[in-house]
């Protein structure tokens, strides 16, 4: 489970890499939806504390792990 309908803008550091992977030109307004990322690359919970005091909450606005690259159903990105 996760918020797969989230859409992510292109991180500046990953711009060229994403373009190479996706095979299309991206700009600042390009958005790629969560369907194209591995679940583990999407950060949708915020965790605090450790052991018994550990708790987590869902983020309203999920983020991507640093260096995450779209790699799922890339052929569908054009209709994102
Ligand atoms: Zn999509």
Q: At 18, list the tokens.
A: 């994403």
The model's pTM is 0.80
Identify residues whose C-beta is under 5 A from ligand 1, the ion. Answer: 33, 35, 80
Distance 47 CA to ligand 1 centre (A): 27
Distance 77 CA to ligand 1 centre (A): 5
**1 with 39: CB under 8 angstroms?**
no
Dist. CA 4–CA 25, nearest whole Å: 23
Residues sharing a CB contact under 8 Å with residue 68, sequence separation 6 or more, in sequence order = 14, 37, 38, 41, 42
Pick the closest to residue 37 from 70, 75, 10 (CA basis): 70
Q: What is the pLDDT along the chain (80 residues), one digit of tens a residue?
A: 444 479 999 999 999 999 999 999 999 999 999 999 999 999 999 999 999 999 999 998 999 999 999 999 999 997 77
Dist. CA 19–CA 69, nearest whole Å: 10
């Amino acid at each position: 489970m996760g918020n797969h309908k989230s859409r992510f803008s292109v991180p500046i550091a990953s711009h060229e890499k994403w373009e190479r992977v996706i095979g299309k030109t991206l700009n600042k307004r390009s958005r790629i939806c969560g369907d194209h990322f591995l679940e583990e690359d999407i950060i949708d919970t915020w965790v605090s504390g450790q052991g018994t005091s550990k708790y987590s909450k869902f983020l309203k606005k999920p983020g991507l792990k640093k260096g995450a690259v779209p790699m799922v159903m890339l052929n569908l990105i054009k209709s994102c």
